[in-house]
Amino acid sequence: MAYASRTGTRKNLDVLRANGWRLLVSARGVWRPEGFPYALDNGAWTAFQRQEPFDAAAFTGLVERLGAGADWVVVPDSVGNRDETLRMADVWVPRLHGLRLLLAVQDGMTPVDVPHLGSVAGIFVGGSTEWKLETLPSWGAWARGAGVICHIGRVNTARRIMACAKAGATSFDGSGPSRFAVEAERLSVAWREADRLYGNERVTP
């Protein structure tokens, strides 16, 4: 499945809807799914980019408003920080009980660092771009074996969509299709081709 960052631009939404995209609604954005199926992002990436602390109040508010209808919710994390991400998971996973949760995996993490299976539905592969691309095949293989969701964050090129499909990822997200209708069209074509070639590899928990 493909998720685009939430946008309010009608033209872009029309293209996304026509091509079967879903929306990823962030705690640090506008809290509207625009009538799409959707998942919830915790806003950690925006905080990281702006060099700000994680906004727990915004995340909690988003979950209270839209959590019940979400495909899944990303557990709060610290971008690129293995130890802090695991500490945050210990705090937040019990608080979010009853929701379909994805644990964000970060640079340096391996499957043995995912102690919350049984409480979470799968993983959200985040971290640095270099680490993500290097470890994507191993995370996909592990998720297939475990029968859990494997979502890949920040996928904005046809080449990365193909890599996600080849690795057996369940889904991916990107911001490019939300900003430009032409990108939504182009990446929709890439998504369909990747699914045609590697759909049998997809994780289907």
38-41 and 101-105: which strand pairing? unpaired
For residues 46-60, give the mean pLDDT: 94
22-26 and 38-41: which strand pairing? parallel
Instruction: Answer whether 6's CB lies under 8 Å from 23's CB.
Output: yes
For residues 2-28, give the mean pLDDT: 97
Contacts 24+ apart (CB under 8 A), 132-139: 133/160, 133/163, 136/163, 136/164, 136/167, 136/169, 137/166, 137/167, 139/105, 139/111, 139/167
Whole-angstrom distance, CA of residue 164 vs CA of residue 63: 27
pTM more than 0.85? yes
Give residue-wise pLDDT tens across range 161-202.
999 999 999 999 999 999 999 999 999 999 999 999 998 888
**Token digits for 122?**
């799968």
Q: How many CB atoms lie within 10 A of CB 84?
A: 15
Give residue-wise pLDDT tens across range 126-165.
999 999 999 999 999 999 999 999 999 999 999 999 999 9
CATH of 2-201, one of 2.40.340.10, 3.20.20.60, 3.40.640.10, 1.20.120.340: 3.20.20.60
Per-residue three-class SS string for 117-132: ECCECEEEECCCHHHH
Instruction: Answer whether 53's CB lies under 8 Å from 82's CB.
Output: no
Give residue-wise pLDDT tens across range 88-104.
999 999 999 999 999 99
Collapsed DSSP state (helix, strand, coil) of residue 162: helix
Answer positive or negative: Cα dihedral of 168, 16, 173, 59. Answer: negative
Question: CB under 8 Å to 135, separation ≥6 — which residues?
Answer: 125
Question: CA distances (Å), 167 to each of 53, 56, 113, 161, 201, in order?
Answer: 32, 32, 20, 10, 7
Q: Letter for the amino acid at 65?
A: R
Question: CA distances (Å), 123 to each of 37, 54, 102, 151, 186, in order?
Answer: 19, 20, 5, 6, 27
Q: Which of the four pLDDT bands, split at 50, 70 and 90, describes residue 116?
A: low
For residues 42-48, give the mean pLDDT: 93
Beta bridge partners of 3: 22, 173
